[in-house]
Homo-oligomer: A and B are copies of this chain.
Amino acid sequence: MNRVLPLFAFLIAASAQDPSSTPQFTAKGELVRPQNYREWVYLSSGVGMTYGTGGPSRTPVFDNVFVTPAAYRSFLQTGTWPDKTMFVLEIRSSATEGSINKGGNYQTGFQRMEAEVKDESRFPGKWGFFPFESGANTSKQLPVSASCYSCHAEHGAVDNTFVQFYPTLLDIAKRKGTLKIGAQ
User: Which A residues are closer than 8 A to B by beta carbons?
Assistant: 3-4, 7, 11, 38-39, 41-42, 44-56, 60, 62, 64, 66, 69, 72, 92, 98-110, 151, 155, 157, 162, 164-165, 167-168, 184
Contacts and interface: CB of A to CB of B under 8 A. Distances in A.
Nearest to A164: B99
Given A39-B41, A41-B38, A64-B42, A48 B104 contact: yes
A2 to B, nearest CB: 12
A101 B51 contact: yes
A69 to B, nearest CB: 8
Contacts of A3: 3
Say what secondary structure dominates the interface of chain A: mixed
Query: 6 tightest CB-CB pairs across the interface, nearest first?
Result: A48-B104, A42-B42, A50-B103, A49-B104, A46-B106, A45-B45
Nearest to A102: B50
A21 to B, nearest CB: 13
Nearest to A41: B39
B46 A104 contact: yes
